[in-house]
Amino acid sequence: MDKVLRRMAIVLIAILPAAGQTYRAPRAPDGHADLNGIWQTINEANFDIEGHMARPAMALRKGPYGPVPAAPVLALGAVGSVPPSLGVVEGGELPYKPEALAIKKKNQEDWLNKDPEIKCYLPGVPRATYMPYPFQILQSNSAMTFVYEYDGAVRNIYLKDPGPPPLDSWMGQSVGHWEGDTLVVDVTGMNDQTWFDRAGNFHSDKLHVTERYTRVSPDVIHYEATIEDPDVFTRPWKMSMPIYRRQEKNAMILDFKCVEFVEELLYGPYRKHPLSR
């Protein structure tokens, strides 16, 4: 029996990391942590970044015994329902100003008409990270680019600060630097046309996002995003989540430019002979 226990102890020592030992990511050619790869989150943040219970749909109406799906999404049944989530916001609730919280509630009530995702607008930051689609990090000695499957979105991460953004845009301007093995990205110059999720959580054009990407194992990046927007929130707040490496040998970013898929929704009523709805 003692021999068996000794052998088990030897095996455990061989496969478990030493106490206090931290993961060291492989190195890119420039000596920084290598973040190259195709990555994707596994969570419900795109539905609602705050913790929430399951509900029958994003768009609801009053029913005889409680809320039921709005008529336009009724036929989707369970496909249109919202799964529950513990949320990704540290501390739980978002620190909205009272007047901003009222706007958020109106956004949620009129989700079908207002959510920019429905119209295939670019997702903005940080929402691009946790939409249910993969994205690829391309890292070299002198450049870094994030390529998102959704809507063909692309972000160039400037490694030298080019100065203030020339204009506001959906994806903003991203300026990165390294703090040890953590890539820190400051994102500014975003317009107010994107949301954080389908639940109507929104921001103004004063949004400033500070992202932190830390590779904590061969197949996991720890992601943090600190949100500052003095027009909407009473204080900065943070979300965090793991991002996982796609494991398929043939993993790649495919073409999902959804703009053409919403042409009928946006422009169909203006046909000479509109199709029935």
Query: DSSP string covering 207-256, please?
Result: -EEEEEEEEEETTEEEEEEEEE-TTTBSS-EEEEEEEEE---TT-----B
List the chain domain ranges: 23-49+91-270, 52-85
Question: For residues 225 and 272, what is the distance between their CA atoms, to the nearest angstrom?
Answer: 47
Q: What is the pLDDT of residue 277?
A: 72
- The model's confidence at residue 212, banded by pLDDT at 50, 70 and 90, is very high
Question: For residues 275 and 34, what is the distance between their CA atoms, to the nearest angstrom?
Answer: 51
Average pLDDT over residues 231-259: 96
Which residue do the tokens 């709005």 mark?
70
Shortest CA distance to 42 belongs to which of 247, 274, 271?
247
* pLDDT at residue 22 tops 90: no
| CB contact at 8 A, 214 and 222 | yes
Q: Does domain 23-49+91-270 have CATH number 3.30.70.260?
A: no
Q: What is the pLDDT of residue 14?
A: 46
In our burial notation (b when 16+ CB lie closer than 10 A, e otherwise), range 110-139 reads: ebeeebbbeebbbbbbbbbbbbebbbbbeb
End-to-end CA distance of the chain: 75
Question: For residues 145 and 159, what is the distance between their CA atoms, to the nearest angstrom?
Answer: 11
Q: What is the pLDDT of residue 142?
A: 84
Q: What is the pLDDT of residue 272?
A: 85
Cα angle 204, 207, 213 (rounded to 5 degrees) comes to 145
Question: For residues 44 and 134, what is the distance between their CA atoms, to the nearest angstrom?
Answer: 15
Q: What is the pLDDT of residue 205?
A: 96
Q: What is the pLDDT of residue 3?
A: 59
- Residues ≥6 apart with Cβ < 8 Å to 135: 38, 39, 40, 128, 129, 146, 147, 148, 149, 253
- The model's confidence at residue 273, banded by pLDDT at 50, 70 and 90, is confident
Q: What is the pLDDT of residue 8?
A: 52
- The model's confidence at residue 30, banded by pLDDT at 50, 70 and 90, is confident
